[in-house]
Amino acid sequence: MTSAFAAKQHLSPYLCFSRADWSALRNGAKLPIEADELEAMVSLSDAVSLEDVADIYLPLVRLLQLYYDASQRLYAVSNVFLGHPSHGRVPYVIGIAGSVAVGKSSTARILQAILSRVHTGLKVDLITTDGFLYPNRALQERGIMHRKGFPESYDRRQLIQFMADVKSGVPRLDVPIYSHLIYDIVPDKSLLIDRPDILIVEGLNVLQRGGRPARAPQIFVSDFFDFSIYVDADEQLLQAWYIERFLRLRETAFRDPSSYFRRYAELTVEEAVATARRIWREINYVNLKQNIEPTRERADLILEKGVRHTLQQLYLRKL
């Protein structure tokens, strides 16, 4: 979060919370997960402690519980007004956005686990928009393989249709599965989403509203969100975390013979750092500045990270 953003809080639609102030809102909630479970949820090169869960995630889950319960009451009241019989609950959709390497996936998995355990009886599913990337073959045909992760690399029509079906209560929806190992959609495999109570949707550009004038009204993924979160950090930290992750992958996943990035496994440390810095500068930084960061102020909640991924401040949109 830039200092300029923080300096404009008197004009901002957000309430700003320090970590201590936010932690006080947990209302005595107990930790529902153990350290070894948390470790399995945290992405490579990310860092989340049990203290983070207690201070940040437990108050957030309490807030989401209240919002979820209120949304269900509103849905029931609307049905009464319209004279429609209730056909079950409308899924509550939470969107999570942010840069590459900021820790979106960790945030999504932790929220899914805690919501499932604290709010017993609720079915909480999680998808990533990576599954809606065009296959590499299609990206190559379009000449945009180097733009993977940019808005045009996603099958937005398929993603929006999926979101519309989820909100309409359509059962047994298949979501394509993306593999970071092969850097492509996995053929003939899918994730089944079957009328969850809560659906978490995590992705780089999920808050984007487009920028080109259109003749007809446009529908965006974010139109289907009930609550949205943007995970934020200074761009210098993001670059450092990306390079750190690249170096760790060089020692692990890149060494797998089936890895798309197998060629990077033999780089020296100096070569790997230079390669990661170039990829960040030419691709991820460009996407961040053009497409991701401009959506930050559309989020209902902004989680601001500092060094070592420590969550420092939160900005909650005023009602």
Q: Note whether residue 188 is domain-resident.
A: yes
Per-residue pLDDT of the chain (319 residues; tens, 9 = 90+): 444 455 455 568 999 999 999 999 999 888 999 999 999 999 887 899 999 999 999 999 999 999 999 998 888 888 888 887 766 678 999 999 999 999 999 999 999 999 999 888 899 999 999 999 999 999 999 999 999 999 999 999 999 999 999 999 999 999 999 999 999 999 999 999 999 999 999 999 999 876 555 566 689 999 999 999 999 999 999 999 999 999 999 999 999 999 999 999 999 999 999 999 999 999 999 999 999 999 999 999 999 999 989 999 999 999 7
Residue 94 Cα distances to 152, 203, 229, angstroms: 23, 11, 8
**Residues contacting residue 63 through CB under 8 Å, at least 6 positions apart:** 25, 316
**Residues contacting residue 40 through CB under 8 Å, at least 6 positions apart:** none
Q: Note whether residue 190 is domain-resident.
A: yes
Tokens 């934020």, residue located: 232
Residue 309: CB atoms within 10 Å = 22
Counted domains in the chain: 1
Residue 231 Cα distances to 148, 239, 310, angstroms: 20, 15, 12
Residue 4 has a pLDDT of 47
Residue 212 has a pLDDT of 55
Q: Which of 307, 143, 146, 304 is nearest to 231 (CA)?
A: 304
Residue 214 has a pLDDT of 56
DSSP string, 180-224: TTTTEEEEEEEEEE---SEEEEE-TTTT----S--SS----GGGG
Helix (H) or strand (E) holding 137: helix 136-142
Contact indicator for 129, 204 with CB cutoff of 8 Å:
yes
Contact indicator for 272, 247 with CB cutoff of 8 Å:
yes
Q: Note whether residue 4 is domain-resident.
A: no
Residue 118 has a pLDDT of 87
Residue 12 has a pLDDT of 84
Contact indicator for 197, 89 with CB cutoff of 8 Å:
yes
Distance of CA 152 to the CA centre of its chain: 18
SS3 of 256, please? Answer: coil
**Residues contacting residue 146 through CB under 8 Å, at least 6 positions apart:** 283
Q: Which of 156, 163, 160 is nearest to 90 (CA)?
A: 163
Q: Note whether residue 8 is domain-resident.
A: no
List the structure tokens of 75: 């849905």
Q: Note whether residue 155 is domain-resident.
A: yes
Helix (H) or strand (E) holding 125: strand 124-128
SS3 of 173, please? Answer: strand
Domain CATH for 211: 3.40.50.300
Q: Note whether residue 103 is domain-resident.
A: yes
Host domain of residue 149:
13-317
Q: Note whether residue 2 is domain-resident.
A: no
Q: Which of 303, 229, 232, 241 is nearest to 52 (CA)?
A: 303
Contact indicator for 60, 108 with CB cutoff of 8 Å:
no
Q: Note whether residue 7 is domain-resident.
A: no
**Residues contacting residue 59 through CB under 8 Å, at least 6 positions apart:** 22, 23, 24, 25, 26, 27, 29
247: left (phi over 0), alpha (psi -120 to 50) or beta: alpha
